[in-house]
A = this chain, B = another copy of it.
């Protein structure tokens, strides 16, 4: 049988270009990384200075397709899944930082016409998918509107706590936005407030702001939002010099009242080390006195003015009116908010609070994880209950059995997942399993792999993609394999192209994911036992959760 298992990819090809320190720092062994918390257990200084790969060998026990590395000079051993090595190869595109412009969808008003990111508060509370959609809008567009939030005082805190943690400030846990006598802040008057970000004098600045409308019977007092990242990107395009000045000039922002005094020195446009827009601060009310050489002051004021004009450019600002019960949640490091002046005679009362983007991102990530698993679970319950191409088990039973077989064989988690999910493409492809049995190849392995790529990395998707090819390969190269196929599998083999020819089999064997796919295929063939006890989908949730893409 060993002759039939394709050789793993050549370790030298995979490891040649990898910096040894980077590779070793990513060693997944339980000595290097705590299996429970996932945290690294060693210091970078614990590694030998002259670290090198002493030997590397392909490894495929229990269906793994991995490379075993022995390190010099300390003799440490690491095992890297081939798919991990392929996916994390140096030079591959970095994951988008969700705080910088690279992780955002920039907009101007017309882009959102008639399609405000909004949701009903009750639906948001009841439905995790709705919750994820709202939080994703805040992350991607910079804001979302919740409607029909109960118009009770303090309710804004419940909204913040639904996704994160309230950031208390000198204004309290929450603050009231309404006309006050002798206000310390112009927000608490009826004056027009032009587009600005809040609290630029705070450092760290609150990254999320919420405003909940309790009443708005005043004439005027309409709201506006401007995408500051979009405006900053326009500035970079139209006047790169001004953009540069604003990213390089720390501006003193100042707030002072009887109980506090805050000063922060931050640029109007903050970029990350790669030069990508990351934060915008803009608040004419609280800019203090800049102390710079005259030429730099002139350059700053020219750039500041150009940016200020750009922020007021028609078409950028999204105008809307908060009705009682509306709560707008927005990214205070990106969106500028504004309001028109209003008549003091009408009642206008908002309550606001601050929170932070990291808590929101964490909640969203967990919602996505469990949404992915819920979606998979529903596939097992719904279409999975269908008969499996004439086999004595349903599709769901077949897949659960395959996963259980992989697990029982001691296979690594990603292969258990691949075995469990290998036929998922039967549910979603344009050609159904029934049609496959009627003679049309539904290419379900590719459909399934593409579907799974939403949630899992290549270590899970590629064995799924290749599991049909693996059957055609095994039937070609392993004596007696084809004879053991079930009747339905023999039929579909022909629809799928029959056993591979010699050249095709050699090409397949050379693929880096071939060994993983062959392992999955063997569990696939075995998982048609109507009498076997099989675990439910719930059994695999923790394993799948750990594999979900970040």
Contact assessment for A286 and B203 in the assembled complex, using a CB-CB cutoff below 8 Å:
no
- Scoring A residues 115 to 129 as 1 if CB is less than 8 Å from chain B, else 0, what string do you get? 000000000000000
Contact of A207 among B99, B204, B258 (CB under 8 A): B204
Chain B: CB-nearest residue to A37: B184
Contact assessment for B37 and A301 in the assembled complex, using a CB-CB cutoff below 8 Å:
no
Cα(A12)–Cα(B203), bound, Å: 39
Contact assessment for B308 and A362 in the assembled complex, using a CB-CB cutoff below 8 Å:
no
A25 at the interface (CB under 8 A from B): yes
Contact assessment for B40 and A97 in the assembled complex, using a CB-CB cutoff below 8 Å:
no
A2 at the interface (CB under 8 A from B): no
Cα(A94)–Cα(B284), bound, Å: 20
Nearest-neighbour CB distance to chain B for A546, whole angstroms, equals: 9
Contact assessment for A308 and B43 in the assembled complex, using a CB-CB cutoff below 8 Å:
yes
Chain B: CB-nearest residue to A286: B39
A304 at the interface (CB under 8 A from B): yes
Nearest-neighbour CB distance to chain B for A227, whole angstroms, equals: 18
Contact of A94 among B291, B298, B301 (CB under 8 A): B291
Contact assessment for A18 and B305 in the assembled complex, using a CB-CB cutoff below 8 Å:
no
A534 at the interface (CB under 8 A from B): no
* Given A26-B289, A261-B550, A362-B261, A252 contacting B284 (CB threshold 8 A): no
Contact assessment for A284 and B92 in the assembled complex, using a CB-CB cutoff below 8 Å:
no
Nearest-neighbour CB distance to chain B for A188, whole angstroms, equals: 9
Cα(A17)–Cα(B291), bound, Å: 13
Question: With a CB–CB cut-off of 8 A, which chain B residues contact A480?
Answer: none
* Given A95-B291, A273-B267, A44 contacting B186 (CB threshold 8 A): no
Cα(A169)–Cα(B164), bound, Å: 8
Interface residues of A in 358-395 (CB under 8 A from B): 358-359, 361-363, 365-366, 369
- Scoring A residues 211 to 234 as 1 if CB is less than 8 Å from chain B, else 0, what string do you get? 000000000000000000000000
Q: Which of A242-250, A437-445, A490-498, A513-521 contacts B (4 or more CB under 8 A)?
A: A242-250
Cα(A44)–Cα(B165), bound, Å: 35
Question: With a CB–CB cut-off of 8 A, which chain B residues contact A259?
Answer: 366
Contact assessment for A273 and B249 in the assembled complex, using a CB-CB cutoff below 8 Å:
yes
A152 at the interface (CB under 8 A from B): no
Question: With a CB–CB cut-off of 8 A, which chain B residues contact A292?
Answer: 90-91, 94
A489 at the interface (CB under 8 A from B): no
Contact assessment for B39 and A185 in the assembled complex, using a CB-CB cutoff below 8 Å:
yes
Contact assessment for B248 and A273 in the assembled complex, using a CB-CB cutoff below 8 Å:
yes
* Given A36-B184, A204-B356, A550-B261, A294 contacting B44 (CB threshold 8 A): no
Contact assessment for B22 and A301 in the assembled complex, using a CB-CB cutoff below 8 Å:
yes
A263 at the interface (CB under 8 A from B): yes
Contact assessment for A97 and B265 in the assembled complex, using a CB-CB cutoff below 8 Å:
yes
Interface residues of A in 17-65 (CB under 8 A from B): 17-19, 21-22, 25-26, 34, 36-45, 47, 49
Cα(A92)–Cα(B297), bound, Å: 12
From A256, A298, A312, A366, residue with most partner B Cβ within 10 Å: A256
Binding site for B on A (CB under 8 A): 17-19, 21-22, 25-26, 34, 36-45, 47, 49, 88, 90-95, 97-100, 165-170, 182-186, 194, 202-205, 207, 247-250, 252, 254, 256-265, 267, 272-274, 284-287, 289-294, 296-298, 301-302, 304-305, 308-309, 312, 356-359, 361-363, 365-366, 369, 545, 550
